């Protein structure tokens, strides 16, 4: 089993490699991946919540042509 000291060393290495600003994103993505993995192992067949697609409005030319 992994102890507290080993987790601390791992976190320090990750921060040194990726930087402190990217660390929260990495941990969030890791946690989401673990959740999805656990759901799949249980056999839950509910689809993951999908993000709504954002419709992009067509780009309008704001410059006046001469």
pLDDT digits (tens, 9 = 90+) for 2-42: 799 998 999 899 889 888 888 888 889 989 999 999 999 88
Prediction pTM value:
0.46
Rounded to whole angstroms, how far apart are CA atoms 32 and 25? 11
Q: Map residue 27 onto helix, strand or coil.
A: helix
Beta-carbon contacts of 36 under 8 Å, excluding residues fewer than 6 positions away, are 48
Q: Which residue has the tokens 């419709």?
A: 55
Rounded to whole angstroms, how far apart are CA atoms 10 and 4? 10
* The predicted structure's pLDDT at residue 21: 86
Q: Which two tokens stand for residue 39?
A: 């759901």
């Amino acid at each position: 089993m992994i102890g507290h000291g080993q987790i601390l060393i791992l976190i320090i290495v990750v921060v040194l490699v990726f930087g402190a600003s990217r660390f929260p994103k990495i941990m969030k993505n890791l946690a989401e991946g673990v959740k999805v993995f656990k759901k799949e192992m249980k056999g839950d067949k509910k689809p993951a919540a999908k993000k709504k697609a954002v419709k992009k409005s067509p780009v309008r030319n704001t410059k006046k042509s001469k």
